[in-house]
Amino acid sequence: MGELGPDEGAENTYSLRPGLQHRFKSSTVKECIRAILKEKLANVQYIPEEMPELTKSLSETIKDRLKEEGFDRYKMVVQVVIGEQRGEGVNMAARCFWDADTDSCAHHVFMNDSLFCVVAAFGCFYY
């Protein structure tokens, strides 16, 4: 029989809940999003031909940045909406069916003279 280490028997190491440090914190994520939008959209004008590429690349960038933040065992969804500023009314809502203890979301709205951009990031813990 193999030798057991100093502790008798194995300890449970599979955690069913994220630790406090590893939670998908709204404030941290919102800050990330705000910084990226400020950097990428500062002087951008709304040009219809370029917008599809920009929205896609922005969502990829934000997703990669969140991966680097180190939210282990979290599945993430990032949604980016960019629209032209013409004074029209827009309303957005979201509802989620999840475990409120472990899962969370963050959103940020960026506006300049020619466009507005809404980013919503959701994180779901993978048990």
Could you give the dihedral angle defined by the CA atoms of residues 66, 68, 72 and 77, in that order, rounded to the nearest 10 degrees? 20
The one-character DSSP state at 114 is S
Beta-bridge partners for 75: 124
Q: Least distance (Å) from other proteins to the CB of residue 118?
A: 8
- Residues in region 45-84 near other proteins by CB under 8 A: 46, 48, 51-52, 54-56, 58-60, 62-63, 66-67, 75-84
Q: Least distance (Å) from other proteins to the CB of residue 62?
A: 7
Beta-bridge partners for 9: none
SS3 60: helix
| 115, 87 contact by CB (below 8 A) | no
Q: Is 92 in the site for other proteins (CB under 8 A)?
A: yes
Q: Is 113 in the site for other proteins (CB under 8 A)?
A: no
Binding site for other proteins (CB under 8 A): 46, 48, 51-52, 54-56, 58-60, 62-63, 66-67, 75-99, 103, 105, 120, 122, 124, 126-127
